[in-house]
């Protein structure tokens, strides 16, 4: 049965198409937690027995676009083989279980991982929404298949990202059916997702995930479910205050993407304390830049900006604010009221630096005098934007050092929508993460990963002490040959001066 023509938009009627595909209205949808050996190895845990969770039948769809709640951002895909039950099964033996299966097909166990915190394990909100279980587009008849020789593949935007076979399952397909039937009567049309291979990960709105199940039939014919294609759209519907709100934590990003937790965690140390701040305040930006380059970090300067306070240095911890290009419908929903811009400025702590992504477009303001006053009152160390500044003369008088792309009288809404704060952004050609250390002076602005800040500045202090010695010698008339950089003879003289200074 081929139902490739059935496409959905993430609304409850989508399940009707899935029921037409299956040929029955399923009462239950089961999904396995871990099924494949490679997935268990990736997760670092191997289950002793099959483990399942339930998904509502209304989560079924036949692919297409799935709509998700406003404010969510961690979207996971898991290509899987789906089993369709064909006849009642109650306490069946493993040897007889496959006879109760009507068909298999491709499926995608979609997840909204920033809603997982409230019912982790049950996965109701994160994986049970309408349209969150695409299956199809065609069914492969089970009686023509060897259940131990079925393959599944997943593509993300055309690139193969998952591939495995039921030959590597921890629990064979007939055993899965038998196990569930011991306590729960399986009925015609019930769906069982049998686990995802390794390398399930995240995708974004606009990207396409495709899943295909293939097998060689017992009679030798090559069978395929066809590619089950799914895309996402973050809708306008916002969850009410009494509902669990999205929490895009590092743990959930790591779990959904399969990447290490350290990729999403901000380094806890070293903290920008008074001692480190004082050291960074005395070292030239050029010296710090050289040290960063030695460590392979060449793209850590925020370029093309000017300062409202020439000669005044900023040292602080980054708080990030992201603007997206203005689109009238989005501006209406995201820019009014207590938006991301106002939330960030109201939450500033002493010594923090606001860094704004405005895509280098300075044809409108990205902040003005009111926000600059708020930043000064809360003790912000500085403001950095690769867009324009409104009320530039007044912002300059307020005195918070502000690096900017130029003055402009237009309001924010001409070009920008305040979208989010405290996430990774791009500003002036540099990537900036919350917690990065921002240092600025007449040479510009540098972004310093906090984990290396202490060793970097200590090395820079040593380097500048050497350069002070070299400058003194040049000022006294010595040629730079052999002195800059110092050869062995000059190095010995320099170290002698250090010993003399230590005795004094």
Task: Single out the residue in 257, 281, 313 at which a domain terminates.
Answer: 257
Helix/strand/coil for 398: helix
Q: Rounded to an integer, what distance in angstroms lies between the CA atom of residue 174 and that of residue 143? A: 12
Q: Rounded to an integer, what distance in angstroms lies between the CA atom of residue 352 and that of residue 315? A: 8
Burial class from Cβ neighbours inside 10 Å (0-12, 13-18, 19+) for residue 472 reads exposed
Residue 482 lies in a domain: yes
Straight-line distance from the first to the last Cα atom of the chain, in angstroms, rounded to the nearest whole number:
93
Residue 441 and residue 470 share a domain: no
**Residue located via tokens 């991301």:** 340
Residue 389 lies in a domain: yes
Residue 344 and residue 473 share a domain: no
Task: Single out the residue in 257, 287, 311 at which a domain terminates.
Answer: 257
Residue 65 and residue 206 share a domain: yes
Angle between helical axes of 274-282 and 453-475 (0-180°, round to 10): 30
Q: What is the total count of domains within the chain?
A: 3
Q: Rounded to an integer, what distance in angstroms lies between the CA atom of residue 209 and that of residue 387? A: 35
Residue 356 and residue 251 share a domain: no
Residue 412 and residue 306 share a domain: yes
- Using alpha carbons only, what angle is made at residue 261 by residues 128 and 53, rounded to the nearest 5 degrees? 25
Residue 185 and residue 43 share a domain: yes
Residue 223 φ/ψ, nearest 5 degrees: -115, 145
Residue 346 lies in a domain: yes
**Token pair in block for residue 240:** 């009410």
**Token pair in block for residue 498:** 């250090």
Residue 101 and residue 231 share a domain: yes
**Token pair in block for residue 227:** 């590619």
Helix/strand/coil for 349: coil
Containing structural domain, residue 475: 459-503
Taking the CB of residue 331, how many other CB atoms lie within 10 A of it? 18
**Token pair in block for residue 384:** 């950095």
Residue 277 lies in a domain: no
* Close Cβ partners of 501 (under 8 Å, ≥ 6 residues apart): none
Q: Name which of 99, 113, 89 is nearest 30 in CA terms.
A: 89
Residue 223 and residue 320 share a domain: no
Tell whether omega for the bond before 485 is within 30 degrees of 0, i.e. cis.
yes
Q: Name which of 351, 88, 344, 110 is nearest 228 in CA terms.
A: 110
Residue 305 and residue 193 share a domain: no
Residues paired with 230 in a beta bridge: 64, 209
User: Length of the chain in residues, anyone?
Assistant: 504
Tell whether omega for the bond before 85 is within 30 degrees of 0, i.e. cis.
no
Residue 489 lies in a domain: yes
Residue 78 lies in a domain: yes
Helix/strand/coil for 455: helix
Burial class from Cβ neighbours inside 10 Å (0-12, 13-18, 19+) for residue 215 reads buried
**C-alpha torsion 223→225→229→235, nearest 10:** -170
Residue 249 and residue 225 share a domain: yes
pLDDT of residue 495: 84
Residue 263 lies in a domain: no
What CATH number is attached to the domain comprising 19?
3.90.850.10
Residues paired with 243 in a beta bridge: none
Residues paired with 280 in a beta bridge: none
- Whether the CB-CB separation of 105 and 136 falls below 8 Å is answered with yes
Q: Rounded to an integer, what distance in angstroms lies between the CA atom of residue 21 and that of residue 32? A: 22
pLDDT of residue 10: 32
pTM for this entry: 0.57
Task: Single out the residue in 196, 229, 257 at which a domain terminates.
Answer: 257
Residue 39 lies in a domain: yes
* Close Cβ partners of 3 (under 8 Å, ≥ 6 residues apart): 17, 20, 21, 62, 136, 137, 138, 139
Residue 209 φ/ψ, nearest 5 degrees: -105, 130
List the chain pLDDT tens, one digit each, 504 residues.
Answer: 333 333 222 334 467 787 788 887 878 999 999 999 999 999 889 999 999 999 999 999 999 999 999 999 999 999 999 999 999 999 999 999 999 999 999 999 999 999 999 987 899 999 999 999 999 999 999 999 999 999 999 999 999 999 999 999 999 999 999 999 999 999 999 999 999 999 999 999 989 999 999 999 999 999 999 999 999 999 888 899 889 999 888 888 888 888 888 777 765 555 789 999 999 999 999 999 999 999 999 999 999 999 999 999 999 999 999 999 999 888 888 888 889 999 999 999 999 999 999 999 999 999 999 999 999 999 999 999 999 999 999 999 999 999 999 999 999 989 999 999 999 999 999 999 999 999 999 999 999 999 899 999 999 999 888 888 888 899 999 999 988 888 988 888 888 887 877 776
Residue 140 and residue 70 share a domain: yes
Helix/strand/coil for 157: coil
Task: Provide the CA 492 distance to its chain's centre, in angstroms.
Answer: 52
What CATH number is attached to the domain comprising 439?
3.50.30.40
pLDDT of residue 14: 65
Residue 73 and residue 25 share a domain: yes
79-85, strands of its sheet edge to edge: 52-55, 29-32, 191-193, 79-85, 101-108, 140-141
């Amino acid at each position: 049965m081929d139902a490739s023509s059935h496409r959905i938009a993430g609304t409850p009627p989508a399940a009707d198409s899935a029921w037409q595909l299956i040929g029955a209205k399923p009462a239950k949808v089961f999904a396995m937690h871990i099924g494949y050996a490679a997935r268990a190895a990736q997760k670092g845990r191997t289950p002793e027995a099959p483990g399942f969770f339930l998904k509502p039948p209304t989560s079924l769809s036949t692919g297409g676009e799935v709509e998700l709640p406003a404010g969510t951002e961690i979207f996971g895909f898991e290509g899987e083989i789906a089993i369709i039950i064909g006849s009642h099964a109650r306490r069946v033996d493993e040897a007889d279980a496959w006879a109760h299966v009507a068909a298999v097909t491709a499926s995608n166990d979609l997840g909204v991982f920033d809603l997982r915190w409230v019912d982790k394990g049950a996965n109701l909100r994160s994986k049970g929404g309408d349209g969150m279980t695409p299956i199809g587009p065609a069914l492969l008849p089970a009686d023509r298949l060897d259940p131990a020789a079925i393959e599944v593949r997943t593509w993300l935007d055309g690139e193969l990202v998952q591939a495995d076979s039921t030959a590597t399952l921890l629990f064979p397909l007939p055993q899965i059916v038998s196990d569930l039937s011991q306590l729960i009567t399986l009925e015609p049309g019930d769906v069982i997702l049998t686990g995802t291979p390794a390398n399930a990960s995240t995708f974004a709105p606009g990207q396409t995930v495709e899943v295909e199940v293939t097998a060689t039939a017992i009679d030798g014919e090559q069978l395929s479910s066809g590619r089950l294609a799914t895309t996402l759209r973050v809708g306008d519907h916002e969850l009410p205050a009494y509902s669990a709100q999205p929490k895009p934590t590092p743990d959930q990003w790591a779990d959904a993407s399969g990447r290490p937790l350290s990729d999403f965690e901000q380094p806890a140390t070293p903290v920008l304390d008074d001692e480190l701040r004082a050291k960074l305040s005395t070292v030239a930006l050029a010296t710090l830049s050289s040290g960063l380059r030695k460590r392979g970090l060449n793209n850590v300067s925020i370029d093309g900006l000017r300062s409202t306070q020439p000669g005044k240095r900023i040292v602080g911890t980054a708080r990030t604010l992201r603007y997206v290009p203005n689109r009238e419908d989005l501006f209406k929903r995201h820019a009014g009221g207590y938006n991301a811009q106002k939330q960030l400025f109201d939450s500033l702590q002493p010594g923090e630096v606001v860094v704004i992504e405005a895509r280098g477009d300075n044809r409108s303001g990205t902040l003005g005098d009111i926000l600059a006053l708020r930043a000064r009152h809360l003790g912000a160390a500085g403001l950095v934007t690769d867009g324009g500044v409104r009320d530039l003369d007044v912002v300059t008088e307020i005195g918070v050092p502000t690096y900017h792309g130029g003055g402009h009288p237009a309001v924010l809404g001409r070009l920008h929508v305040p979208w989010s704060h405290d996430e990774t952004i791009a500003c002036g050609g540099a990537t900036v993460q919350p917690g990065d250390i921002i240092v600025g002076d007449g040479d510009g602005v540098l972004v310093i990963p906090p984990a290396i800040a202490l060793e970097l500045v200590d090395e820079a202090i040593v380097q500048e002490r050497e350069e002070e010695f070299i400058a003194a010698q040049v000022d006294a008339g010595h040629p730079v040959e052999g002195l800059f950089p110092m050869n062995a003879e000059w190095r010995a003289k320099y170290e002698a001066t250090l010993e003399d200074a230590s005795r004094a």
